[in-house]
Amino acid sequence: MSEHHERILYPFSAIVGQERMKAALMLNAVDPSIGGVLIKGDRGTAKSTSVRSLAALLPEYDTVVGCEFSCDPNKPESMCRRCRENKDLRVSRQRMRVIELPISATEDKVVGTLDISAAIKNGEKRFEPGILAEAHRNILYVDEVNLLNDHIVDVLLDAAAMGVNTVEREGISYSHPSRFILIGTMNPEEGDLRPQLLDRFGLCVNVVGIDDPETRLEIILRRADFERDPETFVSQWRPKDEEIAESIRKAKEILPDVRISREMLRKIVDICIDLGVDGHRGDITMMKTCSAIAAMAGRKEVIDEDIREAAVLVLAHRMKKMPFDDPDTDDRRIEDAVDRAEGKTSESETSANGSPNGKSTKNFKSSGPFA
């Protein structure tokens, strides 16, 4: 009975509050190239529950039977060598899985190992896959990411950005596809990540325990209902979960057609400059996140509200910090920067772009030159 009980996941839609965290997780499911989510917060704030519940909502996918990299039979160009050479591929459907990375993981365990002696003696590349192979086309979940070795975090973020894992030993290299939704969680009281690593996470969310008595009461009542009769509880929430799953599926379809105007891109740039965001990763991630938000809303055009919603997810961990800043202060500073950018564009857009109202007529697709 206990084994059966563990397989029943708490429904995503039944999680009380934590709307920002749930939104960040869904946006990364729509567009994994956003670069993952870092969830900062106290223990017991539904972080790992949300991750596992989200995985259950994501669509199944085709995979080559017996392939250690879960190759996609519909994309021959991205297959591993063995699958490309196999003319008689068998295909099965696979559910999205959550692959957990243990804190104690070594680099070899994460990236995999090459058998150097086999390569030297027989000229064959014998590769023992690691966690990054298992994570391909799944969710890679790293609890307490701030306690991981910095070099391992670098390797993870490189693979997440490139979609490929490359292992090099003694002048011999081996590459395989490794595209995954990266989700890291941490308790800030146990130490922070270096700013260079923080910046590499697409979105960052602070979750805190809920103080409102009625909301806290609702949390424990739902949990008690779930533990008393998991099957009934899950069936009650299934329609809402299916609704979320369908909205993610539709958003993934719409995303390639979402357009973002030059005016909107200018607002993103102004906000990032205003908040002292270094480099260009923040601007590019804002663009991708706005497009995913529009797609989730069923729109093919990015609007002001998408920028406002994206800014709090993308910029809080990237902007220049003031002494004694807390999450509430961060939110206020971001809101003010968005307000200033909106005021600036409405005042300063001139007809230099060639359109009568002073707004650029040029649009860019989300997957266009700025992706």
The residues annotated as belonging to the active site are 281
3-state secondary structure string, 25-59?
Answer: HHHHHHCHHHCCEEEEECCCCCHHHHHHHHHHHCC
Convert 97-119 to b/e letters by CB count within 10 Å (16 or more is b).
bbbbbeeebeeebbbbbbbeeeb
Q: Taking CA 23 as the corner, what is the angle to CA 19 and CA 24, rounded to the nearest 5 degrees?
A: 120
What is the Cα–Cα distance from 98 to 157, expressed in whole angstroms? 17
What are the counts of helices (DSSP H) followed by strands (DSSP E) for the chain? 15, 13
User: Which run of H or of E encompasses 181?
Assistant: strand 181-186
CA-wise closest residue to 334 among 266, 274, 269, 267: 274
Which DSSP category does 179 fall into? -
How far lies 17's CA from each of 45, 57, 237, 255, 312, in Å? 10, 18, 15, 27, 17
What is the Cα–Cα distance from 65 to 322, expressed in whole angstroms? 53
Output the DSSP codes for 235-286: HHHHHHHHHHHHHHHHHHHHGGG-EEEHHHHHHHHHHHHHTT--SSHHHHHH
